């Protein structure tokens, strides 16, 4: 009986290298976190995390660093009462890694700058 199996791309020593470093997991209704977006680029992962919608209202979203085997960002929800008396969920992004938080601040600053430039462009066109 042969017990030495040939390794494949899935089970071989290079299998770890084929998995994307950053992965976004979204919580489903049963409480499980399922993988979704994957990339090796930290800026791309942060931008996708910031734009990632939860699977349902109040669901969790996590950004994992597969190489370091840890969560680097997550979404927390707080319930806020509006002026009309309605309760709504408010998303709060929590960053557990300084580099990822810095990238998120850069991505958000670029987004604000793009919106300001777009607004200025429409003002100059309408004058």
- pLDDT-based confidence at 5, cuts 50/70/90? very low
Average pLDDT over residues 10-36: 80
pLDDT, residue 101, reads 95
Question: Can you give the pTM of this predicted structure?
Answer: 0.74
- pLDDT-based confidence at 97, cuts 50/70/90? very high
Q: Residue 64: CB partners within 8 Å, gap ≥ 6?
A: 22, 23, 24, 25, 70, 71, 72
Q: Give the model confidence (pLDDT) of 13-24 as tens digits.
A: 555 557 899 999
Between 3 and 95, residue with greater pLDDT: 95
* DSSP E strands, 14-119: 22-27, 33-39, 61-65, 70-81, 87-95
Q: What is the mean pLDDT of the chain?
A: 85
Return the bridge partners of 75, or none.
93
């Amino acid at each position: 009986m042969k017990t030495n199996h040939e390794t494949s791309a899935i089970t071989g020593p290079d299998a770890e290298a084929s998995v994307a470093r950053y992965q976004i997991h979204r919580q489903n209704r049963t409480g499980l976190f399922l993988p979704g977006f994957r990339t090796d680029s930290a800026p791309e992962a942060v931008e996708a995390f910031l734009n990632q919608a939860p699977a349902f209202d109040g669901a969790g979203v996590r950004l994992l660093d597969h190489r370091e085997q840890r969560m680097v960002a997550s979404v927390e929800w707080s319930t806020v009462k509006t002026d009309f008396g309605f309760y709504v969920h408010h998303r709060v992004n929590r960053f557990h890694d300084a580099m990822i938080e810095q990238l998120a601040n850069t991505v958000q600053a670029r987004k604000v700058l793009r919106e300001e430039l777009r607004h200025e462009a429409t003002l100059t066109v309408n004058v």
